[in-house]
């Protein structure tokens, strides 16, 4: 009887042959292939994002001169504030511009306190280049 138990124990301990190994290799190969594709895609996207941009276009240069917050012309606001009695009271109302080819014509309406502490609304018309530099105050 002990011989029977020994045979049963040996059978239980004996490694079983599995037919899953070939399918496991296929799954592993598929995962490696997909991982390789993901790495290549990540490298391509990273390269595209870090490629040096070309020179800014004329329109981009003009847009960079204006605030994305309120649309005011940054350089013109600085000039106005430098000439105001109370620069902290400056409030932008509106800005419009016309592209004249070699320069921009900029109209700005703004508010601020005068020397009598009264809030006044004023307008200004100026010329600026496409880089944002104001070179002439017309009105």
Is residue 107 a contact partner of residue 123, using CB atoms and an 8 Å limit? yes
3-state SS, residue 134: strand
Range of the domain at 105: 58-137
Q: Residue 33 falls within a domain, yes or no?
A: yes
12-59 pLDDT, tens digit per residue, is: 665 555 555 555 677 888 888 888 888 888 877 777 666 567 788 889
**Verdict on whether the full-model pTM lies above 0.85:** no
Domain count, the chain: 2
Q: Residue 20 falls within a domain, yes or no?
A: yes
In this structure, are 73 and 47 located in the same domain?
no
58-116 pLDDT, tens digit per residue, is: 899 999 999 999 999 999 999 999 999 999 999 999 999 999 999 999 999 999 999 99
CB atoms within 10 A of CB 126: 22
CA dihedral 116, 117, 123, 129 (to 10 degrees): 110
**Exposed e or buried b per residue across 34-50, where buried means at least 16 C-beta atoms within 10 angstroms of its C-beta:** eeeeeeeeeeeeeeeee
């Amino acid at each position: 009887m002990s011989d029977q138990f020994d045979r049963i124990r040996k059978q239980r301990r004996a490694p079983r042959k599995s037919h899953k190994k070939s399918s496991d290799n296929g799954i592993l190969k598929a995962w490696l292939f997909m991982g390789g594709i993901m790495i290549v895609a990540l490298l391509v996207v990273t390269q595209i994002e870090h490629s040096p941009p070309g020179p800014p276009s004329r329109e981009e240069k003009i847009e960079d001169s204006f605030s994305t917050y309120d649309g005011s012309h940054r350089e013109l606001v600085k000039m106005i504030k430098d000439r105001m009695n109370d620069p902290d009271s400056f409030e932008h109302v509106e800005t419009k511009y016309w592209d004249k080819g070699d320069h921009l014509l900029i109209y700005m309406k703004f508010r601020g306190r005068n020397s009598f502490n009264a809030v006044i609304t004023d307008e200004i018309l100026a010329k600026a280049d496409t880089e944002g530099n104001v070179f002439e105050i017309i009105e």
